[in-house]
């Protein structure tokens, strides 16, 4: 895998990864309105996940400009995945969260492989490369820790959180249980603390 091939893989992966949180958040939002009852604090976490995935995508787009074939593939994948996931979420949100948990684990594995390649010197183009400005701002990357290696560690840490959050949500009663990661008073303090704790990434 070259640097370019990794970026292509990341862009495609992230363009799909941004869908589930938005679909789940939207469907729970509509359900809350329709049934005229509270959502138990799930929507915010789901939309936050979608936003985080979109930031991953936008960050990698600063490093490569996808061609027309790639754009067409993203369009096709979004259409299929959005339709399929929406339908599946209406049928069984619990199974969907479990599925996303496993998908996020795959993302963790992908980023781990890229990190190992970089550490072993197979990606020389990334060795002296600084993370894009928007990534530095978004993750508040400290001075001296703004290289590509750090960036990949930040992104992988996000994916690991998505994995844990979705597996946890998949364990819950979708209609009655509060979201343990909610920022509001409904959230469990310990889980909230883990989720909001700043990263301690040392990569450069």
Taking CA atoms, 187 is separated from 58, 139, 180, in Å, by 30, 23, 4
Toward Fe ion, which CB reaches closer, 149 or 162? 162
Site for Fe ion in 140-159 (CB under 5 A): 159
As measured in angstroms, the least distance from the Cβ of 17 to Fe ion is: 5
Single out the segment in contact with Fe ion by CB under 5 A; choices: 49-57, 87-95, 118-126, 183-191.
Answer: 49-57
Site for Fe ion in 76-115 (CB under 5 A): 104
As measured in angstroms, the least distance from the Cβ of 162 to Fe ion is: 4
Token representation of residue 14: 């992230």
| 56 binds Fe ion per the rule CB under 5 A | yes
Site for Fe ion in 6-45 (CB under 5 A): 14, 17
Q: How far is CA 144 from the centre of its chain?
A: 25
Q: How far is CA 163 from the centre of its chain?
A: 9
- 38: nearest Cα among 178, 201, 198: 178
- 170: nearest Cα among 87, 101, 104: 101
Single out the segment in contact with Fe ion by CB under 5 A; choices: 23-31, 50-58, 70-78, 145-153.
Answer: 50-58
Residue 147: beta bridge partners?
130
Toward Fe ion, which CB reaches closer, 39 or 104? 104
- C-beta separation of 15 from 78 below 8 A: yes
Figure out which of the listed residues 19, 53, 55, 166 binds Fe ion, where binding follows CB under 5 A: 53
In this structure, the number of other CB atoms found within 10 A of the CB of residue 83 comes to 11
Known binding site for Fe cation: residues?
A: 14, 53, 56, 104, 159, 162
Binding positions for Fe ion, rule: CB under 5 A: 14, 17, 53, 56, 104, 159, 162
């Amino acid at each position: 895998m070259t640097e370019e091939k990794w970026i292509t893989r990341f862009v495609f992966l992230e363009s799909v990864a941004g869908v589930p949180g938005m679909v789940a958040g939207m469907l729970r939002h509509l359900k809350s309105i329709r049934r005229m009852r509270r959502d138990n604090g799930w929507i915010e976490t789901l939309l936050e996940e979608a936003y985080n995935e979109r930031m991953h995508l936008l960050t990698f787009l600063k490093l490569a400009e996808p061609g027309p074939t790639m754009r067409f593939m993203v369009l096709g994948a979004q259409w299929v995945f959005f339709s399929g996931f929406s339908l599946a979420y209406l049928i069984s949100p619990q199974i969907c969260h479990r599925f996303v948990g496993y998908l996020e684990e795959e993302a963790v594995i992908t980023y781990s492989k890229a990190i190992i390649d970089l550490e072993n010197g197979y990606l020389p183009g990334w060795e002296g490369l600084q993370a894009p400005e928007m990534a530095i701002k978004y993750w508040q990357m400290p001075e001296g820790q703004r290289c590509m290696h750090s960036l990949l560690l930040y992104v992988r840490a996000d994916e690991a959180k998505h994995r844990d959050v979705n597996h946890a949500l998949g364990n819950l009663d979708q209609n009655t249980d509060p979201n343990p990661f909610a920022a509001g008073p409904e959230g469990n303090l310990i889980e909230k603390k883990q989720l909001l704790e700043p990263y301690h990434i040392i990569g450069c």
